[in-house]
Copies of this chain bind each other. A is one copy, B any other.
Amino acid sequence: MTPHIADFLAYCQGPASDIYFQRAADTLAAAALDPVVTMEYFGDRDGLLCGMGDAVDLLRRSLDGAGEVWALDDGNRIAAREVVMRVRAPYSRFGRLETAVLGTLASCSGWATAAREIVDAAGGRPVISFGARHVHPLVGPIMEQAAIVGGCAGCATPLGAERAGLAAPSGTMPHAMILVFGDTVRAALAFDAHMPDDVPRIVLVDTFKDEAEESLRVARAMGERLLGVRLDTPWERGRVTVELVREVRARLDLAGQRGVGIFVSGGLDAERVREFVAARAPVDSFGVGMAISAAPPVGFTADIKEVDGEPRTKRGRIPGLTDAPRLERMI
């Protein structure tokens, strides 16, 4: 499918770069023009910066000592139109990287920004990113890393977890496994019997029966080995509601199962998470999918602001360097 990743820098400078940057490079070379330019990068809305580590890495290899870079670190909150990076170098050293640098910042900051909004909404309860299935597999793990930068406590794929420096990916059990077993309790007991001890015993309880009933069945069958139940009610059954969580909690407590946690997933976004938290619903953690992985990118732009030390920029922009005291020297 994608044969091209052996040399990522070359990939970004060539096949994955907008062709007109190559044409510009050729024209300028033919005209023997290669001034030192200062370029500034900014986003089109407030957000959480992410992807900068990878972007600076690309620039470092490309500049190879022939330029300077100032930037903000990943994880910084940024304002619309705030300068987040400044590069000063001969234009030929980095002009063709514009597509890759902007694209990296755009996607990653989009994901991190959405994650942060939900993490803030969750008010301290862990949020796990489960949306890898909604983005192309080439960027699924990168999306997860951005979600962790945005404050998520876990993610679903091994590579995502590795990139984010987590000990392990997170996961309970899919509906498919329970359907193959044909019974939730049977599936849960098999899972418990065969999984390593460090895999949390969280059982999905909405496949065959009402969640409250199934929670009690599983709890009775597994006893203290059960860490929690996952509620993922489909929209055809009204999704997970504050009332459902309260009832499952109450019925578990009545059955003496106060130690069993409740993990909620299924179409969650910041607004629904806020409703759970505002209603003090007894949720122990949240699993979030498309609200993070389908988040729109932050649109980034790069503007030349100086050419050979002289302020120069296109119509509509202010020539010369923008005041940006938060930037730090990276290269």
Which residues of A pack against B, CB within 8 Å?
Answer: 1-6, 8, 11-12, 14-21, 23-24, 26-28, 30-31, 33, 35, 37, 39, 51, 54, 57-58, 91, 95, 98-100, 102-104, 106-108, 110, 130, 132-142, 156-159, 161-162, 168-182, 187, 190-191, 193-195, 199, 206-210, 212-213, 233-239, 241, 243-244, 246-247, 250-251, 254, 290, 293-294, 296-297, 299-300, 302-304, 307, 311-320
A201 CB to nearest B CB, Å? 11
Known: A176-B91, A238-B237. A159 touches B210 (CB 8 A): no
Contacts of A207 in B (CB 8 A): 314-315
Find A297's partner among B134, B195, B234, B254 (CB 8 Å cutoff). B134
Known: A243-B236, A315-B212, A315-B237. A176 touches B304 (CB 8 A): yes
Known: A1-B54, A137-B12. A23 touches B191 (CB 8 A): yes
Contacts of A294 in B (CB 8 A): 106, 110, 296-297, 299
Contacts of A170 in B (CB 8 A): 19
Known: A5-B2, A138-B142, A142-B138. A28 touches B177 (CB 8 A): yes
Contacts of A17 in B (CB 8 A): 157-158
Closest B residue to A250 using CB positions: B318
A304 to B179, CA, bound (A): 8
A141 to B15, CA, bound (A): 8
Contact across chains for B194 and A27 when beta carbons are under 8 A apart: yes
Closest B residue to A14 using CB positions: B158
Contact across chains for B4 and A11 when beta carbons are under 8 A apart: yes
Contacts of A304 in B (CB 8 A): 175-176, 179-180
Known: A11-B4, A31-B194, A244-B236. A24 touches B173 (CB 8 A): yes
Contact across chains for A139 and B141 when beta carbons are under 8 A apart: no
In the complex, 19 of the A-B residue pairs with CB atoms within 8 angstroms, ordered by the A residue number, are A2-B5, A16-B138, A19-B168, A21-B171, A24-B173, A27-B187, A27-B194, A30-B194, A37-B176, A95-B176, A99-B132, A99-B133, A103-B137, A104-B137, A106-B294, A108-B136, A234-B316, A238-B238, A290-B299
Q: Name the 6 nearest CB pairs between A and B, nearest first.
A: A238-B238, A20-B171, A234-B316, A15-B159, A236-B243, A24-B177
A93 CB to nearest B CB, Å? 13
A262 to B205, CA, bound (A): 26
Contacts of A157 in B (CB 8 A): 15-19, 99
- A4-B4, A4-B6 known; 11 new pairs, CB 8 Å cut-off, are A17-B157, A91-B180, A98-B133, A104-B136, A107-B136, A108-B136, A134-B299, A136-B138, A179-B307, A213-B315, A238-B238
Contact across chains for A35 and B193 when beta carbons are under 8 A apart: no
Contact across chains for B33 and A180 when beta carbons are under 8 A apart: yes
Contact across chains for A19 and B171 when beta carbons are under 8 A apart: yes
A44 to B244, CA, bound (A): 18
A95 to B173, CA, bound (A): 12
Known: A1-B57, A23-B195, A315-B209. A247 touches B254 (CB 8 A): no
Known: A33-B180, A236-B241. A296 touches B296 (CB 8 A): yes
